Structure 1
């Protein structure tokens, strides 16, 4: 981005969110790992990319350039697929069997998360093929789009395993519901206004001085540069649905956040030397990104060239959890999570955070906007996201897909977590600063055990009725 390029009439300016993610202190690249059953055919992968819908979209066939006034733009270019497909030999991905395959892939991703930017002399995406592990890593700069954009892009190249003529199907993208009927009452409107004021004010205070109490998993200013360890927690969607049915009107997101709350409390109990000093109910705050699109299905996101569908369309919300020592009923964590998330849903926190960020960007520029976002992250404890993947098994270039996982480059948080569901399973990628979170695998096991205990409690509760 150092070179100033003459401006052309066809150049398209970056969105405010795109400019934000190019700032050095919050520069973000999304990584999606696709594991396949059979050895990878490199030529077939390149041919699929060259003919895909992805390359027809201007975001994926444009260079990032800077005009005379220092403003970033997208400029259409001819894509050379060979420059974007990077084939990794066995020696670089530890393909000698000395460590488990999953650990080898996660170690490679952990290294990418702190040390490998994307080159600006080509469109800001690339694909790494780890031949030793039958997987590919799609790297997408966050300036191009968010997790929903990424998922739609990837799955445009996939087909259903049971019917290669059909594209994958989804339950939705977690966005705002179109055409849904909400019974508005005076009380509900007052609550919406009140919760919005409280939650937006908290975000503003987070950008100034309000900070979580220091714990064994706290990050902070500069932690994004620390070495990382990546581990995977694995869940079954049926187990999450069993827990969901045990708590009235709960959602999968409620269950996920209950698992996170319970798992972190357990980890602090086992690992932290300060656990005895932690008071019951101490707040530990997470940051989540909420999709602001209406909910049409992922395919329309990629088909549309409007920024209202593609690109970055999300707001930020703060999701507090509270430290609780082990109790007799693990479902209480889900009930607490649901009560909190219901208030968040009723508020306009996500929308206001998006609009306020847009206003700050317009009035004060990307440096000020990135500084405020960086401080919010530095003053909280973890990041969490959840993207819904395909319901059924899929193939890519005719090769059955065994797993889908997502993570991003590091942030000032010591823990960032990204979950993707696929064909009845859900994998939570946990990217941890390894000098702070000393045993990330223990943290992953705490999450898995939390869901298992919640499922057992739900089944016991159901059988006793």
Structure 2
């Protein structure tokens, strides 16, 4: 196909996500309070800022040299993008029905390349719609910011206020005065960056986690999936956070993941799980200088520090399994100590830069191969976006929940958490032949937070 003057080159990250061995799609499930007025929703989509965005009006094309580009279309036909599904079931089964539908989409339903790479699936009886967007169009921060720009507060007509997201690459510490302390901090940045970059390179070259009952691997991304939802109260997470000096919601979340996985392993293989077993996660880290959800004008502005697109790197987050941990808050203390060191390092920036360099020098095939190596040699994926804390609506219909998951990876577990109106809900997508009971795994995480909350209620602040 001949390149035209208006074609825009696909970014290096976008090229990797579009490679057949990756082809990653984000699914955002929106639960609504009232039955969906389909025509009103279609009208709002047609007139929304989303349709005006060039990526949502562009086809993915290759020129005669095989270079990937975005080509603007003259018209978006909503009939090719909006699909209505009538799935029978009782109201009590709605969550299971939606999760089963999303689990099937995660494996068996790639987006067609003969139209812009997004779809809306309306599950009419479940009062839910699913926005599916190819990851090449943007990352979670970009897409959530765009989606919220299409919504309004329930009690107002203006757009939703922006909240901060959790995983960022900047340190949460305040700046430390004094030349000596600044010099020491610089030394720590160099040391931690050197250590963590070496470990990251090791993962891409073959260093892998030990075998466990949650281990995935090459080819597992094609296995059938199950999906369960772990539900947390943000006030409980804040209560635990307050018990740890300088604690963050991220510290609590990763402490919950550590404790929950330990609980799950003990139940699945009570006498066989190795003491000190390392289980390593990949955390997606927002690299924009301004953290959190962004105003669309900032994302689309040329030269903005908060650019549209895929602006994220990775942290390797190791968990070491230990039996008989007496203090539930010890999981959060260990998580905080590790995350503080990670934030001092440039690991996330390195992972982004090296991927971009490999893509530029060797193309998407090699970049995808290295990315798959890192995934196959670790055990799970985790991401977290702190969404709007005020109730919002679309087409005049208030939202009940916002839940996110992606296409399946080589991991047997991928976890994506989004908070909304004081609740935090984490979608747990699993390979069902490896983890047949994701609802029990979700309960392990929920119980871990409740136990930490109870311990935080009676414990003095921990330094």
Measured after TM superposition, the shift of residue 8 of structure 1 is 0.3
Match of 1:18 in 2: 14
Match of 1:239 in 2: 236
Structure 2 Cα separation of the partners of residues 238 and 290 of structure 1 = 24
Contact between 2:277 and 2:320, CA under 8 Å: does it hold in 1?
yes
Distance 1:223 1:262, change over 3 A: same
Distance 1:113 1:64, change over 3 A: same
Alignment partner of 1:225 is 2:222: yes
Contact between 1:127 and 1:139, CA under 8 Å: does it hold in 2?
yes
Contact between 1:384 and 1:418, CA under 8 Å: does it hold in 2?
yes
Is the partner of 1:260 in helix, strand or coil? Answer: helix
- The correspondence of residues 180-259 of structure 1 with structure 2, limited to 5 A, is 182-183=175-176, 185-259=182-256
Cα displacement string for residues 293-351 of structure 1 (whole angstroms, at most 9, x for unaligned residues)? 12265342465324851110001111111112232210000000000000100000001
Is the partner of 1:136 in helix, strand or coil? Answer: strand
Structure 2 Cα separation of the partners of residues 192 and 302 of structure 1 = 33
Which is further off, 53-62 or 425-434?
53-62
Measured after TM superposition, the shift of residue 182 of structure 1 is 2.7
| Unaligned segments of structure 2, at least 5 residues | none
Match of 1:103 in 2: 96
Q: 1:291 aligns with which of 277, 286, 302?
A: 286
Measured after TM superposition, the shift of residue 271 of structure 1 is 1.2
Measured after TM superposition, the shift of residue 176 of structure 1 is 5.6
Alignment partner of 1:281 is 2:276: yes
Which is further off, 454-463 or 331-340?
454-463
Measured after TM superposition, the shift of residue 408 of structure 1 is 0.3
Alignment partner of 1:133 is 2:126: yes
Distance 1:10 1:134, change over 3 A: same
Alignment partner of 1:167 is 2:159: yes
Structure 2 Cα separation of the partners of residues 100 and 346 of structure 1 = 45
Q: 1:348 aligns with which of 328, 346, 349?
A: 346
Contact between 1:85 and 1:129, CA under 8 Å: does it hold in 2?
yes
Measured after TM superposition, the shift of residue 14 of structure 1 is 0.4
Cα displacement string for residues 332-377 of structure 1 (whole angstroms, at most 9, x for unaligned residues)? 0000000000010000000111111111111111100000000000
Cα displacement string for residues 374-417 of structure 1 (whole angstroms, at most 9, x for unaligned residues)? 00000000000001110111111100100000000100000000
Q: 2:380 aligns with which of 376, 379, 382?
A: 382
- The correspondence of residues 439-450 of structure 1 with structure 2, limited to 5 A, is 439-450=437-448
Cα displacement string for residues 231-270 of structure 1 (whole angstroms, at most 9, x for unaligned residues)? 0000000000000001110100000000000000000000
Contact between 1:302 and 1:310, CA under 8 Å: does it hold in 2?
no
What is the RMSD of the two structures over their aligned residues, measured on CA atoms? 1.9
Contact between 2:142 and 2:299, CA under 8 Å: does it hold in 1?
no
Is the partner of 2:453 in helix, strand or coil? Answer: helix
- The correspondence of residues 280-429 of structure 1 with structure 2, limited to 5 A, is 280-295=275-290, 298-301=293-296, 304-305=299-300, 306=302, 309-429=307-427
Cα displacement string for residues 183-203 of structure 1 (whole angstroms, at most 9, x for unaligned residues)? 362221111111111111111
Match of 1:112 in 2: 105
Contact between 2:197 and 2:347, CA under 8 Å: does it hold in 1?
yes
Match of 2:259 in 1: 262
Measured after TM superposition, the shift of residue 179 of structure 1 is 13
Q: Count residues in correspondence.
A: 453
Structure 2 Cα separation of the partners of residues 357 and 301 of structure 1 = 26
Measured after TM superposition, the shift of residue 177 of structure 1 is 6.2
Name the TM-score, length of structure 2 as normaliser: 0.94
Contact between 1:113 and 1:409, CA under 8 Å: does it hold in 2?
yes
